[in-house]
Amino acid sequence: MSELPPDDDISVGDTDAATHRGGFGEFGGASGGLIERTFRERIVMVGVTLAGVDPADTESSLDELALLVDTAGADAVDRVVQRRKSPDPATYIGSGKAIEVREIADMVDCDTVVFDDELSPAQQFNLEKILGRTALDRTAVILDIFAQNASTLEGKAQVELAQLRYRLPRLRGSGRRLSQQGGGIGTRGPGETQLEVDRRRLLRRVHKLEADLRQVQAHRETQSKARSRTRNRAVALVGYTNAGKSSLLNVLTESEVLVEDRLFATLDATTRRLSLPGGESVFATDTVGFVRKLPHQLVNAFKTTLDVVRDADLLVHVVDGSGPDPQGCIEAVHVVLDQIGAGDIPELTVFNKADLNDNATALARRHEGSVAVSARTRSGIDKLVESIADRVRSMTETVDLVVPWHRGDVLAAVHREGQVLSETAGDDGMSIRARLEPASLGALREYVVAAKESQR
């Protein structure tokens, strides 16, 4: 992949705030992130409770923002909460409140002010002029965390694409950064500004990344077709970030996927084979964690990864049962699933971290069909595997077949394509009761004697 020009060649939100030491303003320089990690930035967080919103939800969202800021490598030193009927078009919080935030920022000597809601480019520009320091939104913080955690070529490309889509509308030129590209007779005039050059460079890079990710998507679709030919079902582990999806995948499949107790430790989809008690196998995939107000840039950029979720036959929704707001996390995940077109896929809810307190077990009792587990102590894992097996079997049909003795190939196909429940030798052939996928059943229809839906 070609490299972007150095950040010094691209003006992003160029204001008086550029003289402040906050590292977020120039999007992390050569580090590739959105935050300067040569020191721990001091952050003031701002949340707005709009009409019809519970103030407790705003506080909960700010608590999560504090965790995001810490994961990004900064310290949240204060928070400001405002109530408004609707956002101010110019500054989101109004000029008077912005001046108040500046006074608080000066008092605590903060480097950057982070807003819990997405700011428009104009709002961000106006706020930086009033605050005298960098103003960022939740989207920028999440993008920074993703930039830190991306490790594979696909993950890095997806994060860079999301960053560029975020940066493009925020490009701004200033008098000291304008330049002319031509000179001499016939070329005099305003010329091409540095802003236009920057925009063209970024657009060219965006198109390159989009083309690269299309190739990745085509490769993933080829892999998906190969898996579908094996008749194995696909199970995707989804859930809020840091709910324990990777730990659960390791326990279920005896693998060694990266596990860390921090937000967004996993960005790339990881697939492992999971053997079920009846002898069947499914493909289990660990996916990127979700979060409240997940930036639309990330949803679009991670389309190839999220396709794994949309193509799954069953979603294992992992919830941190010990967390402060499990129901809020469940709802946030459902919002993202609806966004990517996966809202109608069958779902099995798993309340993880049952070893930390009794909340997971209590939640499992209230949610019919759910399971409480602990990936750390392995408690409840057997019940979870049985639940997955039951859900997968419910997608098949239990049928009775009679296969003539001279059709050994058909007998082998039944064993290969489905789960044989019983076999009885008869005069005309082998009588078999088996669970079969709809696709397999079509090819064996002429040997079916009776069929009935399988029982969970």
DSSP annotation of 111: S
427 near 446, Cβ under 8 Å?
A: no
Q: What is the mean pLDDT of the chain?
A: 80
- Is 398 within 8 Å of 417 (Cβ atoms)? no
Name the least confident of 75-84, 174-183, 221-230, 419-428.
174-183
| Residue 337 CB contacts under 8 Å (≥ 6 apart), including other chains | 238, 309, 315, 343, 345
**Among 296, 284, 216, which Cα is nearest to 247's?**
284
Q: Topology of 1-229 in CATH?
A: Rossmann fold (3.40.50)
Tens digits of residue pLDDT in 281-322? 888 988 888 888 877 777 776 766 677 888 899 999 999 999
- Token pair, residue 392, equals 């997968």
Q: How many CB atoms lie within 10 A of CB 109?
A: 8
Count CA atoms within 13 Å of residue 455 on its CB side: 0
Contact of 350 with 332, CB cutoff 8 Å: no
> Which of 35 and 398 is assigned the larger pLDDT?
398
Give the mean pLDDT of 331-353.
91
Which structure tokens are listed for 443? 């090819």
Predicted local confidence at residue 11, as pLDDT: 42
Q: How many residues does the chain have?
A: 456
Angle between helix 194-228 and helix 153-167 axes, rounded to 10 deg: 140
Q: Which of 281, 231, 287, 230 is nearest to 257 (CA)?
A: 287
Burial class (CB in 10 A: 0-12, 13-18, 19+), 356: middle
- 3-class secondary-structure state, position 144: helix
What's the pLDDT at 6?
A: 43
Task: Give the span between the Cα atoms of 93 and 87, in whole angstroms.
Answer: 6
Per-range mean pLDDT, top range of 9-18, 64-73, 437-446? 64-73
The pLDDT, as a whole number, for residue 145 is 84
Inform me whether the pLDDT recorded for 35 exceeds 60: no
For CATH 3.40.50.300, the residue range(s) in the chain are 231-393
Distance CA 92, CA 86 (A): 8
Residue type, 140: A
Average pLDDT over residues 69-73: 88
Dihedral angle at the C-alpha atoms of 247, 252, 253, 256, nearest 10 degrees? 20
Residue type, 13: G
- CB distance 276 to 392 below 8 Å: yes
| Interval 67-89 mean pLDDT | 92
Q: Which CATH number fits domain 397-453: 1.10.3470, 3.10.20, 2.40.50, 3.30.70?
A: 3.30.70
Residues of the chain with CATH 3.40.50.11060: 1-229
Which CATH code of 3.40.50.300, 3.90.105.10, 1.20.1250.20, 1.10.167.10 fits the domain covering 231-393?
3.40.50.300
Query: Start-end ranges of CATH 3.30.70 in the chain?
Result: 397-453
**Mean per-residue pLDDT for 69-95?**
93
Please, which pLDDT band fits residue 395 given cuts at 50, 70 and 90? Answer: confident
Query: pTM of this prediction?
Result: 0.73
Candidates 305, 313, 259; CA nearest to 283 is 313
Structural contact between residues 152 and 122, judged by C-beta atoms closer than 8 angstroms:
no
Average pLDDT (437-443) is 75
Mean pLDDT value across residues 243-265: 79
d(C-alpha 424, C-alpha 395), whole Å: 25
Band the pLDDT of 266: cuts 50, 70, 90: low
Q: Using pLDDT thresholds of 50, 70 and 90, give the confidence band for residue 155.
A: confident
- At 37 the pLDDT is 56
Q: Say what the pLDDT of residue 436 is.
A: 80
Q: What pLDDT score does 182 carry?
A: 46
